[in-house]
Amino acid sequence: MSTVIAVTGKGGTGKTTVSALLIRYLVNAGHKPVLAVDADPDSNMPSALGLDDSKNLSTIGGTRQDFFDSKGEVPPGMPKEAFLELKLNQALVESKNLDMLVMGRPEGAGCYCYINNVLRKFLETLGNNYPFVVIDNEAGLEHLSRRTAQKVDYLLIVSDYSMNGLRAAVRIKELSQEMGLNVGKNYLVINNAPDDLSPQFNEAMVDTGVPLLGILPADENVPRYDIGLKALTDLPDSSPVVASLDQMAWALIHENK
């Protein structure tokens, strides 16, 4: 049975960085293959994982819209559900140690109930083929709210070193509860933090009511790799954010057993 980790937070806090480096740890620790799900419409995960040039990326959203626009027309003799699952499988980007699904754009106008039911079944079946599924989510939790993931073992809420980031973390925690999401544990991750946190910030972290999983330091390698169009998974072990993330990931996986 797979372990599902969803990463969310306010825009610009480094959700994709955390997701990519978490996947890096899982692969290097032998927990492979990993299924990466890019559920943010901005779709930055392919470049962070070095998979953006692997093929002309298809998205789940595009597949869903094309099927809806075609009014479910399928080849003769082929069941409609089997045809849709075939198209969904074609959106899967496969590599040696990890595979990736890009959710893409949200739904357009019209009723997608049947398509979403097939999508949920597809993702549930597909996810069971991987020891870990990592979802890089948008702050709105749209895909989780539509139950495209049946369960989430760990919801990592990423904040930067700002009060706005912490306030957004509280709203996300409350939103997940209001939606009745099947979340095992919530954790707070502080990204791009200075060496010394202010007393006010430390107090505000406690006030969120979300257990702190880890603090990731500011690391000049991250923007340098981004500007150089290098995959974040290629960051060296000596990179400060990699070392901190590896410790955080080890604690998440081993201390919660």
pLDDT, tens digit, for every residue of 146-178? Answer: 655 568 899 999 999 999 999 999 999 988 888
Ordered domains of the chain (ranges, CATH): 3-254 (3.40.50.300)
Question: Across the chain, where does the E strand assignment appear?
Answer: 3-9, 34-39, 93-94, 98-102, 132-137, 152-159, 183-193, 212-217
- Is residue 55 over pLDDT 60? no
Q: Tens digit of pLDDT for each residue in 202-219?
A: 999 999 999 999 999 999
Spatial contact of 21 and 5, defined as CB atoms under 8 Å apart? no
Mean pLDDT for 50-58 is 70
CA 189 vs. chain centroid, Å, equals: 14
Q: How far is the C-alpha of 226 from the C-alpha of 236, rounded, in Å?
A: 14
CB 196 within 8 A of CB 172: no
CB 17 within 8 A of CB 232: yes
Residues 47 and 19 sit within 8 Å (Cβ to Cβ): no
pLDDT band at 85 (very low <50, low <70, confident <90, very high): confident
b/e for 171-185, b at 16 or more Cβ within 10 A? ebbebbeeeebebee
Give the mean pLDDT of 84-101. Answer: 88
At residue 18, the pLDDT reads 97
Phi (first) and psi of residue 178, to 5 degrees:
-60, -35
Confidence of residue 86 (pLDDT cuts 50, 70, 90): confident
> Which is more confidently placed, 103 or 222?
222
Overall average pLDDT of the 74-95 stretch: 85
